[in-house]
Amino acid sequence: MSEEQEAILIEPDPAAVFACAHSLWEACRNEASQNPAVDLSADYSGWDQLMREVMRIGVMFETWASENVLFDEFDEVWPYFMGDNFGKACFSVVSASHLDQFKERDCLRVALHLKLPLRLGNSLPIPIDLKADNPLGGSTFVAFRIQTVRSSLDGEDIVPFTHGDDPFDEVFSLPYFGIYGVNTDGLVEHICDRRTYGEALKLIRNLVPPVNFPDEPILNVRGREV
């Protein structure tokens, strides 16, 4: 595929850009009407600058989504869904008065809030928790598990990275992949860690070649992995 063809594939959909921007614009207007302490005209030195901010965010998110969302796994009409939900989802990341602080990494935060199907292959820090039965008999482990975990920067804790967690929480490291064995009682034993899912998958397949983990898992719209 040529670079020109790739550029066409990731061109943001104008309908979705409009839906995102309009949804955010309406959410801002509703916030201003319901909260007397919010003065968006003053916050942005005029409503025209607020318009520019909502358009900037709409274009940014739709461009990001074009590269990272698996639309084949999404069973709703994308622009309609964005129109109904995008504005409120943005407020889970940034307030109506501080849209100028919305950055590209916030696109992932919004996508996780909306439970969109995301592509792990783009090295996004998304939560994964997969389990596959051990097809080989005579083993202590009846199943294996790959789960995203994070280390606290003080070195005291290792905790699961799950749906609903901030992927860029500055208290923790970036997520990595823990490999675990599951015994007949359901107890989980840590085996080792790997930096990427691909490395974790390669190790398990070297140990148990028939094990049935996906080559590239995704986070689906209900916040589960498939």
Virtual torsion, Cα 36, 38, 42, 48, nearest 10 deg? -110
In terms of DSSP bridges, do strands 176-182 and 143-151 run parallel, antiparallel, or are they unpaired? antiparallel
* Same domain, residue pair 132 and 215: yes
Residue range of the domain that includes 154: 122-219
Q: Is residue 127 in some structural domain? A: yes
Instruction: Retrieve residue 39's tokens.
Output: 């003065």
Q: Which of 56, 87, 116 is the last residue before a domain boundary?
A: 116
The predicted pLDDT at position 1 comes to 39
* Nearest alpha carbon to residue 23 among 95, 106, 79: 79
* Nearest alpha carbon to residue 125 among 159, 193, 176, 160: 176
Cα(45)–Cα(55) distance, integer angstroms = 16
Q: How far is CA 88 from CA 36, 42, 115, 153, 196, in A?
A: 19, 21, 14, 31, 32
Q: 112 with 167: CB under 8 angstroms? A: yes
Q: Which of 116, 137, 153 is the last residue before a domain boundary?
A: 116
* Same domain, residue pair 10 and 94: yes
The predicted pLDDT at position 51 comes to 94
Q: 84 with 180: CB under 8 angstroms? A: no
- Chain centroid offset of residue 178 CA: 19
The predicted pLDDT at position 4 comes to 42
Q: Is residue 224 in some structural domain? A: no
Q: 113 with 92: CB under 8 angstroms? A: yes
* Same domain, residue pair 59 and 109: yes
List of the chain residues with pLDDT < 70: 1-10, 121-122, 219-226
The predicted pLDDT at position 220 comes to 56
Q: Is residue 78 in some structural domain? A: yes
